[in-house]
Chains A and B, each alone.
Chain A
Amino acid sequence: MQLSGSHATEDQLENYTMGRLSDSEVSELEEHLFICPTCQDAWAASEAAIGHIRHAASMYLREAGSEARPWYRTLFVMPRLAGALSLAAAALLLAVGIQQVTTHRSAAPPALVMLQSMRGPEARLNATVAAGKPFVLSLDLTDLAQLPSYRLEIVDADGHSVFQSSAAPRQNRLQAAVSRGLPGGSYYVRVYSSAPELLREYELEVAH
């Protein structure tokens, strides 16, 4: 990777933030970041912008999923019919209404929760999810030993295990779907090797 004009480009800083650079490219860029205040500021700005975009996109998709037409409105769309025809029509509408409930409940996309290994306000902001809602964890594996698969565990504030899974990494990230959601509170997401050896822990806040 060549630093353009002795500074990192916006693309390079963005790819660095998103874990898309090779090890040698990361090495070269980080050594440059140690000595270049201009690029330090540009990196911080890029990281903040990406964090804002991700969070806004996650919220946007969550809102878009919850705007499906309420199922009960379909019962009042058709005109009333007399006698048996009315009953048959009502039964038909009820069946349609039940199907809409099933479709509506499964249509809302799960929230994507991205957990970074760095600390700071940006990391906490992305590590929040609504209580009871399914979500997908996306964990940053920067600086972790490269393994073919990892074990995941979520523990609550008292250390009780509430979720376990295993997954293979992809592009330096680990993804796991938590389909049932969690009650409100503070949680910790732990990553283990197959040994199992505890490798890393992330904070996760589930909003009440």
Chain B
Amino acid sequence: MMANETANDSSDTHEAPDQPSWAELVDKIRQNDANGMEELYRVFSRGVRFYLCRQLGPQDLDDRVHDTFLIVTQAIQRGDLREPERLMGYVRTIVRRQVAAQIETNVQSRKHHFDLDWGLAVSDSGSNPEQNAIQRESQRIALKVLKSIGPRDREILIRFYLYEQSPETICTEMGLTETQFRLLKSRAKARFGQLGKRKVTRRLVPFLENYWRDLPPKG
């Protein structure tokens, strides 16, 4: 019980999202209502964009979001969506197809890229030097944090997150009950996060100041 309460703490303080009536929204879009289009695009501009960015990276993100939006609205206006209440399920299907198609395109183009000209530039993942520097520093701090927590907590984190052992296996091999495992994992992860926050704040600000100071001047 307590483990569940601990695990749920982070989400309970925020209000539930405003969920429009999907059937009404689909109706508006079928009638080419501008408000309906705007409402649907609001969902795309945040949620779908977020999902596409996580799956495919930031390259061409605006175009992908827009293409997906067009596919969905045109499908709605053609009457392809038979269950309006399942609008988000339909959106998800379209988005996942877009992701799969883009991955396939990337794989095929890279395969042919090797055949044509090895001198062609490989597409950038989108991260800039500052982000890379921050990421490296965060990882260095994360390692320090991991070393500073207790050995049992560390073992649980390694078994669960790195080796992806099941909770049952971990409980059996470490002699823990399920409740003990959930509590210890939650505590270990939370301590890791708290320590990381303090260390990142203490170390990252001076690090960033030094980073900007050492950058070569522009021009």
Contact = CB atoms under 8 A, between A and B. Distances in A.
Interface of A: 4-11, 18, 27, 30-31, 33-40, 42, 44, 47, 49-50, 52-61, 112, 117-121, 123-125, 138, 143, 155, 157-159, 171, 173, 186, 188, 190, 198-201
A25 to B, nearest CB: 13
Given A35-B88, A38-B11, A188-B110, 6 more contacts: A9-B8, A44-B54, A50-B161, A53-B189, A55-B139, A120-B126
B142 interface: yes
B144 to A, nearest CB: 8
Contacts of B108: 198
A33 B51 contact: yes
Contacts of A112: 162-163
Question: Can you list the 6 inter-chain pairs with the closest CB atoms, starting with the nearest?
Answer: A159-B114, A6-B16, A119-B57, A34-B47, A7-B11, A56-B142
29 contacts: A5-B12, A7-B14, A9-B4, A9-B11, A27-B89, A30-B51, A31-B88, A34-B47, A34-B88, A36-B16, A40-B46, A53-B161, A53-B192, A54-B161, A55-B142, A56-B143, A56-B145, A60-B147, A112-B162, A117-B103, A118-B54, A118-B56, A119-B57, A120-B54, A143-B96, A143-B103, A158-B118, A159-B114, A188-B110
A201 B126 CA distance: 18
B79 to A, nearest CB: 21
Contacts of B46: 37, 40
B146 A27 contact: no
> Chain A interface mostly helix, strand, loop or mixed?
helix
Contacts of B125: 119-121, 123-124
Contacts of A201: 106-107, 110-111
Given A31-B89, A125-B139, A171 B11 contact: no
Number of chain B interface residues as a range = 35 or more
B208 interface: no
Nearest to A157: B118
Given A42-B11, A54-B161, A121 B131 contact: yes
A118 B103 CA distance: 10
Contacts of B88: 31, 34-35
A20 to B, nearest CB: 9
Contacts of B115: 159
Interface string B78-114: 0000000000110110011001100100111011001
Given A34-B48, A54-B162, A6 B142 contact: no
Nearest to A158: B118
Interface in B1-54: 4, 7-12, 14, 16-17, 19, 43, 46-48, 50-51, 53-54
A43 to B, nearest CB: 8
Contacts of A155: 114
A34 B122 CA distance: 31
A138 to B, nearest CB: 8
